[in-house]
Amino acid sequence: MAANDEKRAELVEHLAELRARIIRSIIYICAGAIVAWISYDAWLFPLLTRPMMPILRKMGSKFLLTNFPEGFMIQMQICLVAGLILALPLVMWEIWAFVAPGLTPNERRPVKWVAPLAILLFLSGVVLCYFILPAAFSWFALYVPKNAELRPSVQQSILFTAKMLFAFGVAFELPIVLMVLGKLGVINSRMLKANWRICVVAVAIVAAVATPSNDAFTMLCMAIPLVFLFLFSIFLVWLVEEDRPNVWRAIGELMRSIFRPSRRNPRKS
């Protein structure tokens, strides 16, 4: 009876802690959304539309709003997403603080360096996509008919930009996915090296499917970095393998085989 009461008390305590952390996370997101709302005209909206502006200025065109509430709804949606992004480090900290006490030291150790690597790869994909978007929009503009006028919708244009940024960020998580599969024993570095040609073709297919525009230019811009990330993933998978050989021992044996003097049989007179 006492054991059941203790378990019930622990459950209530965990639920109370979870509720407090969820409330704090919501407050963080709301605070981030307020900051985004205040700075919407100053930097947030120009940041999202900057890749398209050179093309619109060249064509003498502007964005199009089809109804009165559209401007308010777009600003509210963008600010909510921006608030989530701004509050993401604090939200992740709340999640980690809730989960970490139940993990063993061996379970905590990989998360401490996998999580920063995942964030770095995601941001790298987003930054790369942001810098190639102007070239992508220029390529799209080549196919606007001469007797047509380009008047892009604000909502659809920003939604397309967000999808592209998100697709590149998620695609750049390929090393993390392969590393997890290697840790689980599903794949190993030897298998990846032996089938690298098939993997490169698979990477190209993933790039073709993941790009929202489905055009050759953005597919190549995603596929080429993913090939290099795949090669980097082979090394990461090797690092997490349980039966990997000692790298320093392997290097030592290689050096000894190179510099060891060859033993020749003496010539018989």
pLDDT bin (cut points 50, 70, 90) of residue 22 is very high
Closest alpha carbon to 87 in 51, 36, 46: 36
Which has more confidence, 19 or 4? 19
Distance CA 251, CA 14 (A): 50
Q: How much is the mean pLDDT over the chain?
A: 82
Outline where 39-68 has alpha helix (H): 45-49, 53-59
Judge whether 192 and 233 are in contact, CB under 8 Å. Answer: yes
Amino acid 260: pLDDT:
58
- 115 CB-near residues (< 8 Å, 6+ apart): 92
pTM as predicted: 0.76
- pLDDT computed for residue 246 by the predictor: 53
Predicted confidence at residue 25, as pLDDT, reads 94
